[in-house]
Amino acid sequence: MPTRTAEPDGQPADAPFLLHRVRVAGRRRLSDGFVRITFRGPTLDRFADPGLDQRIKLVLPAPDGSLDDALFSPDWYGAWRSLPDDRRPVIRTYTTRAVRPEAREVDVDLVVHEPCGPAGRFATACREGDEAALLGPNRDAAVAGGGIDFRRPATSDRVLIAGDETALPAIVRILQDLPAAVRGAAVVEVPRREDAAQLPSHPGVAVEVVERGGAPHGERLTTAVRAAAGALLTARTGQEPEDVDVDAGLLWEVPGDGAVPAADGPFYAWLAGEAGVIKGLRRLLVGELGVDRRSVAFMGYWRAGRAEGG
């Protein structure tokens, strides 16, 4: 284990998240659509790695490559907010792909997309030695677990996992961390099949890669999720899933009103990607197929036509 470092810039030692000064240590093109950036920083031995869909923040340097020193203070967020607009760094949300505390390194896989944004530009243009900052979970946090949204009830041994390319790093980690006894399906839509080359297999989860090709974003994902959800419901009940007409009546189950507890649902579902597509999947699962919404995590990772936070 490396020698323990000082508290990063005076931040509380047991804070849930810590902001780390980092530099680009490597940049690798994984496929046409993905770049892996390896960040290295003196305090990254404190970066926790609970796996699953651990969310982190990437703080980008200004176009001239600088990162305001004022950020690195006990209250980094207060410092960030007080910076004038033209000096306030852009922050984007990502997923931990790998953590190597002994080398003080963290890998992040970034989608290269059109239209491009500041993070997409950084992914294609950054060079070894470029400055940035990473906000990540603290391995000494007083209360751990912040930033993980894959919360499968221990009693639920069936899963439905689905997402687009922005969810691919999270789906990779989830499949790696899922116990072998879990059964179900994982569906990922990517621009080109080779973008998903890093997806691992799982002994009980059927992993399906859907190539977008020229189809609208999410169209083929929705078709594949419909089939996978139908198969899981059939496997569980031995019947075709009930088709609910949401125009004829309100589909509503309120916890405590005699609704089936989420842990007893047909499966636990985790869905992430473009917000409009995820909204459609939510309608499909909950509205059409009648899945208990408390068994489903729906996450709009980005919104077409809108910058993060915009």
Ligand X SMILES: Cc1cc2nc3c(=O)[nH]c(=O)nc-3n(C[C@H](O)[C@H](O)[C@H](O)COP(=O)(O)OP(=O)(O)OC[C@H]3O[C@@H](n4cnc5c(N)ncnc54)[C@H](O)[C@@H]3O)c2cc1C
Q: Which residue is nearest to ligand X (CB)?
A: 117
Q: Which two tokens stand for residue 194?
A: 């080779």
d(CA 116, CA 121): 6
Q: What is the DSSP letter of 80?
A: H
Nearer to ligand X, 206 or 297 (CB): 297
Q: Does 304 bind ligand X (CB under 6 A)?
A: yes
Q: Of 198-257, which residues contact ligand X (CB under 6 A)?
A: none
Nearer to ligand X, 10 or 276 (CB): 276
Q: Which of 120, 153, 200, 290 binds ligand X (CB under 6 A)?
A: 120
Q: How far is the CB of 95 from ligand X (least distance, A)?
A: 4
d(CA 5, CA 287): 51
Nearer to ligand X, 89 or 118 (CB): 118
DSSP string for residues in 148-169: ------TT--EEEEEE-GGGHH
Q: Does 95 bind ligand X (CB under 6 A)?
A: yes
Give the other-Cβ count within 10 Å of 264's Cβ: 12
Q: Does 137 bind ligand X (CB under 6 A)?
A: no
d(CA 199, CA 194): 10
Task: Please answer whether residues 270 and 254 qualify as being in contact, where contact means their C-beta atoms are separated by less than 8 angstroms.
Answer: no
Q: Of 153-182, which residues contact ligand X (CB under 6 A)?
A: 166, 169
Q: Which of 106, 110, 162, 291 binds ligand X (CB under 6 A)?
A: 110
Q: Which stretch binds ligand X (CB under 6 A): 15-23, 76-84, 87-95, 276-284?
A: 87-95
Q: Does 117 bind ligand X (CB under 6 A)?
A: yes
Cα maximum dimension of the chain? 65
21 closest CA partner among 144, 119, 104: 104
Q: How many residues bind ligand X (CB under 6 A)?
A: 24
Q: Which of 27, 55, 104, 293 binds ligand X (CB under 6 A)?
A: 55
Q: Does 92 bind ligand X (CB under 6 A)?
A: yes
Task: Please answer whether residues 204 and 184 qualify as being in contact, where contact means their C-beta atoms are separated by less than 8 angstroms.
Answer: yes
Q: Which two tokens stand for residue 120?
A: 């997409």
Contacting positions for ligand X (CB under 6 A): 55, 92-95, 109-111, 113, 115, 117-120, 166, 169, 301-308
